[in-house]
Structure 1
């Protein structure tokens, strides 16, 4: 009787997957609007380098790096990224509690509230941006968020279907994005009167 459900779900997932893959950003849409903060999600050297460059360009007064390993301080982070600590040390804050994207959003939301900030530029990998935005908008619905994707060399965005590693990465991100959306919807249902 319900044999049609699995094929319909599979077809829906597949259609959404192709939409998601086509929607992975291939450029920074807004590279000039300043914000209160720059937020970098750990996970790749391109992300931290982009965040530090944005801070150097004075695109914001503070850089928050979310999801940093415990025991690493600002000096160590700057040394690892081959930066001079005295140039940027004053303006960088590290978050050590997040261990996933939802945690990044929660950790950043707490820091933004403590600082009284209302806008941020979010730096993460292009394939990770849509899910990150979903988590950040859910955690901070009143904060203006400007996406600032970076483009890892290992991710072959053009003709991604020819690259099994990239196809798998995008499929995994899409599935995690759907799970996040489902979790957000369930939380809203719980909070509804």
Structure 2
């Protein structure tokens, strides 16, 4: 009788140990499967992102109140001033300018419209990154009571710029004007390691920018008990 009781206790302990071990293995496998799924989704998302980058420059279909050009890439300022010279907006904001750069130096970057620097160009030297660019642009838009802005930046940077700007100034119409850099080979990006690295870096920054935009919109909807402001109701 005692022997049978001891044997039963040992078998029960063995079953408990097996269940615990099986549960541990199941948790590890679930974590592994989740990691693989996340990596696959990340890779697919990157491919979609890289293939969606604008391959050519598209002229804005209609005029806007202002133009915001984010510094950091080739020909951005020149393209923004060309748009201003064509009457596509009333005013230009150049955001993210180096503190040591003068207005005269910026004028040399414009092949057209440099005469407008005296009357219609504002320069922001506070912004140090895309988030700062969005903050400074939002303040500029609120100051001038603009409801629409043409966004000028490099094609690979445009998705993140739009996400940060939409977060900072909901209700303002954003019109993308992507500057195509011939040194960034987006047509066959996978055959150019430098372009692939640049696009991957931009994609990994774009994901948190989207998350910030989504979280901000969710908070606004929760606080206001409704949707984000419509386009005709800009928020400073």
TM-score by length of 2: 0.75
Structure 1 counterpart of 2:175: 146
1: CA distance, partners of 2:149 / 2:178: 13
Structure 1 counterpart of 2:209: 180
Q: What runs of 5+ residues in structure 2 fail to find an aligned partner?
A: 1-26, 224-236
2: CA distance, partners of 1:143 / 1:87: 24
Q: SS of 2:174's equivalent?
A: strand
Structure 2 counterpart of 1:32: 61
From the superposition, tell whether residues 190 and 98 of structure 1 become closer, same or farther in structure 2 (CA, over 3 Å).
same
How many aligned residue pairs are there? 193
* Residues 45, 81 of structure 1: 8 Å contact kept: no
Give matches, 1:55-94, under 5 Å: 55-79=84-108, 81=110, 86-94=115-123
Q: CA offset at residue 73 of structure 1? A: 3.6
| Pairing 1:162–2:191 present | yes
Q: SS of 2:149's equivalent?
A: strand
* Residues 167, 216 of structure 2: 8 Å contact kept: no
Structure 1 counterpart of 2:130: 101
Bigger Cα displacement from structure 2, 100-109 vs 30-39? 30-39
Q: SS of 2:156's equivalent?
A: helix
From the superposition, tell whether residues 145 and 84 of structure 1 become closer, same or farther in structure 2 (CA, over 3 Å).
closer
Q: What runs of 5+ residues in structure 1 fail to find an aligned partner?
A: none
Higher Rg: 2
2: CA distance, partners of 1:31 / 1:190: 32
Structure 1 counterpart of 2:70: 41
* Residues 42, 68 of structure 1: 8 Å contact kept: yes
2: CA distance, partners of 1:58 / 1:76: 23
2: CA distance, partners of 1:4 / 1:173: 27
1: CA distance, partners of 2:194 / 2:82: 29
